[in-house]
Amino acid sequence: MEAVARALPELLTGAAALDAPVRWVHVAETAEAARLVSGGELLLATGIGWPPDDDALGRLGRQLVGGRVAGLVLELGERMPAAPGALVAEFRAAGLPFVVLHREARFVAITEAVHARIIADQMGALRARDEIHALFTELSLRGSPADFIVAQAARVLGCPVVLEDTGHQVVAAAGAEDERDLAAWEQRSRAAHRGAGDWTIAPVEARGMRWGRLIALPGQPHPAGRSNVVEQAAVALALSRLADRDADEWTRRSHDALLGALLGRRFAGEAGLAARFEAAGFPLRDRLLCGVALRSRTGAFGASAASRVVDAARAAGADAVAGRHPTEPGVLVVALSARPSRPAADAFFEGLARAADDTGATAVAVGSDARSVSGLLSSVEEAVELAGRAEPARAGGRPSVQRVDSRPLLRLVNAFGSDPRLAEHTEQMLRPLIEHDLTTGGDLVPVLAAYLTHPGNRTRAAAASHLSRSVFYQRIALIEELLGMDLDDGETVSALHAAVLARRAGSRAYPAM
């Protein structure tokens, strides 16, 4: 500050505390001022009313230190040509700033400037609090979901924000770009609640019921106060929770988000997504993983089907994340994690099917075993592909279980993943049909897929295509003409089947769940 700089300030002690906040600036010329401070004041003085002896000055220093002043600025002059040693010693021992001014200073100018800045900061804080209150009130009135409220809190604070349930499992997280933000979450969260670390935590509760906690990881200060932002967001989450008709809404949304990130490949690195699964209570380390897809004959599962499937898996000793398929309401996607010593028999998967739909009219498709997030992704995609071809059982019957192990071609295609050679093969084999469908709005590629799914049974293939047999035969004839191939040739059929499976896997879109 220019008014201070002109007075040639010199810091005698307390360099480490120069960043301490100053609540107010006050001129204190007498020893009695020590009784009036309440903490955080920066005192200005010339020493004209101070006691002359060292013992009294030492007591004055102890009183000021005990009053938690922010610091002391002494203007040197004829009355006080040097800073009293006893007073400086007390400030040095406490680590508080003691500054001397070697020239005359205008204390009025200093106090006026500092007070103006303090008041301006306070007004800014009030405006910021009003803005935060308005933001989260609007989110509450709009009925915004929990993950969006968490995302807004992370945006405002500029740091990772996590919503966890009462069991310290992550329900939603935003701003956690580094896998270390969520790594070993349960252990770190429990330690933070015991007072370790510098997390900002607010309970999410209303009407005497606590559903979880909102946590902001360390970050920069906010004008409205970090704790105020977190508390306002926690209130919005509590109101959102009260408005939810389904008690499992948070869990369902959390699982949908995890599966959406996995299937949509919306993760920068495998370690980051693995940390998200682990933090949500889905263990990956030393576990056998697999993907499962359930397909209902009725065309859709109930709202609580995913929760029932998760409960059934846990009752059988496995952990699960379940959610709706993003584009097919009749398919429920499940990621399973089990100990390698507990291989899953068909009866286990039949139990999942019955939990999803007690009529038993469900087909269960099981992907291959995996040991990593990337392997789990392939396994889930295999299961989804297989479920699309599975025929659900009749109501009251036994759920049908199909494993990708019985579909070697599908497993082979998925093993190649996004290999450009497979993509080139697909394009070469199917280009005439793809271009025809794009130009005419036709259905030759789906018809070919139905034909390949039911080889040797054109009646079932026609039914799967929702076409009459005569129209189906016409389509097959056109396909053979455009491709210049004989669909009765075994090698041709195999090559086309691989191309169709690869195209479906490569073009399958998974929007946000």
Q: What is the mean pLDDT of residues 103-123?
A: 85
Q: Which of 416, 436, 451 is the last residue of a domain?
A: 416
Task: Tell whether 194 and 178 lie within a shared domain.
Answer: yes
Task: Tell whether 143 and 208 lie within a shared domain.
Answer: yes
Alpha-carbon gap, residue 219 to 329, rounded angstroms: 41
Q: What is the mean pLDDT of residues 244-256?
A: 78
Q: What pLDDT, on the 0 to 100 scale, is given for residue 456?
A: 77
Q: Detail the DSSP E strand segments found in 353-501.
A: 362-366, 400-403
119 lies in a domain?
no
- On the question of pLDDT at 303 being above 80, the answer is no
Which one of 121-125, 169-173, 362-366 scores highest in mean pLDDT?
Answer: 169-173
Task: Tell whether 379 and 453 lie within a shared domain.
Answer: no
50 lies in a domain?
yes
Task: Tell whether 184 and 142 lie within a shared domain.
Answer: yes
pLDDT averaged over every residue in the chain = 86
Q: What pLDDT, on the 0 to 100 scale, is given for residue 311?
A: 92
- CATH number for the domain spanning 211: value is 3.30.450.40
Token pair of 467 as six digits: 């076409």
Q: Are strands 200-206 and 209-216 parallel, antiparallel or unpaired?
A: antiparallel
Q: What is the DSSP string of 175-189?
A: S--SGGGTTTHHHHH
Task: Tell whether 298 and 390 lie within a shared domain.
Answer: yes
Q: List Cβ neighbours of 59 (8 Å cut-off, separation of 6 or more).
A: none
Task: Tell whether 12 and 92 lie within a shared domain.
Answer: yes
Alpha-carbon gap, residue 391 to 83, rounded angstroms: 92
Task: Tell whether 367 and 382 lie within a shared domain.
Answer: yes
Tell me the whole-structure pTM to 2 decimals. 0.64
Q: What pLDDT, on the 0 to 100 scale, is given for residue 44?
A: 92
Q: What is the mean pLDDT of residues 379-397?
A: 73
- CATH number for the domain spanning 32: value is 3.40.1390.20
The pLDDT tens digits of the residues spanning 142-179 come to 888 899 999 999 999 999 999 999 989 999 999 987 78
Task: Tell whether 96 and 151 lie within a shared domain.
Answer: no
Q: What pLDDT, on the 0 to 100 scale, is given for residue 396?
A: 59
Q: What pLDDT, on the 0 to 100 scale, is given for residue 509?
A: 36
259 lies in a domain?
no
CA torsion, points 269, 275, 276, 277, in degrees to nearest 10? 110
6 lies in a domain?
yes
Q: Tokens 């026609």 map to which residue?
A: 462
117 lies in a domain?
no
362 lies in a domain?
yes
Task: Tell whether 366 and 435 lie within a shared domain.
Answer: no
Token pair of 52 as six digits: 């002359």
- On the question of pLDDT at 362 being above 60, the answer is yes
251 lies in a domain?
no
Q: What is the DSSP string of 58-115?
A: HHHHHHHHHTT-SEEEEE-SSS-SS--HHHHHHHHHHT--EEEESS---HHHHHHHHH
Token pair of 472 as six digits: 């189906």
Number of domains in the chain: 4
Which range marks the domain in which residue 12 is found? 2-105
Q: Which of 416, 433, 465 is the last residue of a domain?
A: 416
The pLDDT tens digits of the residues spanning 65-97 come to 988 999 999 999 888 899 999 999 999 999 999
Q: What pLDDT, on the 0 to 100 scale, is given for residue 330?
A: 76
Task: Tell whether 291 and 217 lie within a shared domain.
Answer: no
- CATH number for the domain spanning 331: value is 3.30.70
Q: Are strands 200-206 and 170-174 parallel, antiparallel or unpaired?
A: unpaired
The pLDDT tens digits of the residues spanning 418-476 come to 678 888 888 888 999 999 989 999 899 888 888 887 877 888 888 878 889 899 889 99
261 lies in a domain?
no
Q: What pLDDT, on the 0 to 100 scale, is given for residue 507?
A: 55
Task: Tell whether 405 and 461 lie within a shared domain.
Answer: no
Task: Tell whether 289 and 405 lie within a shared domain.
Answer: yes
Q: Which of 229, 246, 263 is the last residue of a domain?
A: 246
